[in-house]
Structure 1
């Protein structure tokens, strides 16, 4: 019988192994060793290594979606919503170094495989940013000519680069709050409609 705890344990182990070795260099045996399970146990839960990577994104990004969605429900102001998204993402990436590295590296190296996956949870995550931009445009808070799809890539690119810098040994002298305020301020000056 499959155990949800063992499934989560394998996902956590795989996230760490993918972050350290990269998806293409990682082996099922590496993941099994990190999870402290037999190699064969992995195949009870996953079809192959790519299935594990997709499950990492489904589970870990799914948690981010649930978490930030709950926070955003409590706020109506699109300017504050954007700051909430940015702050939450940075805090989670700072807490989960291995996930940050997997997102940074694997979304680029395996992007063709990820694009072919229909239930792309990562796109759902980025769509939250676009949705906030659209809400701000409808409220007259953000400029109408801003393309939400481009804005979401730009916002995530900034967040991804900041989290990358935190995890490659560079000492960032700023707190998460300071970084969040700076990113939010820089972005919003560029997207705010006049008199906002």
Structure 2
């Protein structure tokens, strides 16, 4: 049995339509994956409470899916805040689940030989996974630049002149202003 010209053209049209449908399906799958994936990152935030500014390192999931952290390596490393261990928050992050919108806040603690003015860039190598995919990020933070950051729009009296309720209220307002 011979195929006629119209049969061959029909077959080509069907094959082209099938290829377009498969490509569209794959593109939709990729768009869905990208819009629903976790986006875990590390960033610096300076929070001013009363007359003192403190730098914080924040680990946050900006994505729409939770993920487990597999590895988080900081170079050069921070020093531990706890006297009885050398572990930092970043060392303890393995197997930590970070839900969508969830953040963890820690104070960076520099070893005595690390002057924050001398360290410009600190690198965070981050690996995390969901049930179906693994993600790797390398984030470089310029810690020196945070020294120039405007930290507050309020004019506060000296902390010693305030009651504990005023200190808590102003500290909470500053944290909420940063959306942490």
- TM-score range with shorter-chain normalisation? under 0.3
Q: Based on CA coordinates, which of the two structures has the bigger radius of gyration?
A: 2
- TM-score by length of structure 1 reads 0.26
User: Whose helix proportion is higher, 1 or 2?
Assistant: 1
User: Whose strand proportion is higher, 1 or 2?
Assistant: 2
